[in-house]
A = this chain, B = another copy of it.
Amino acid sequence: MARVVVDVMPKPEILDPQGQAVARALPRLGFDGISDVRQGKHFELEVADDVDDETLAKIAVGLLSNPVIEDFVVRRVGQE
């Protein structure tokens, strides 16, 4: 088994109201020096060793992200 991480983020040109809400809250709460926050999704998958990168990309496109408004990054983080 391998652990695969998929990070899904709104594309740079897409508004991110959740991230903006966090960014606006930070100075109010006394945290300065954070100029931008973007919020996305983080998936951790336990994957059999015979699942190839092409299949993982299909899963990311079809299930984990909306490719119209989101980008994703797939990375293998460990073998078990």
Chain A: residues with CB nearer than 8 A to chain B? 1, 7-9, 19, 22, 25-26, 29, 31-48, 50-51, 55, 58-59, 62-64
Given A19-B43, A37-B43, A42-B42: 16 more A-B contacts, CB < 8 Å: A1-B35, A7-B42, A25-B63, A26-B59, A31-B55, A34-B45, A34-B47, A34-B51, A35-B47, A36-B45, A38-B44, A39-B42, A40-B42, A40-B44, A41-B41, A41-B42
Q: Are A22 and B62 touching (Cβ within 8 A)?
A: no
Q: How far is the CA of A31 from the CA of B48 in the complex (A)?
A: 11
Q: Are B39 and A41 touching (Cβ within 8 A)?
A: yes
Contacts of A7 in B (CB 8 A): 42
Q: How far is the CA of A63 from the CA of B48 in the complex (A)?
A: 35
Q: Are B1 and A42 touching (Cβ within 8 A)?
A: no
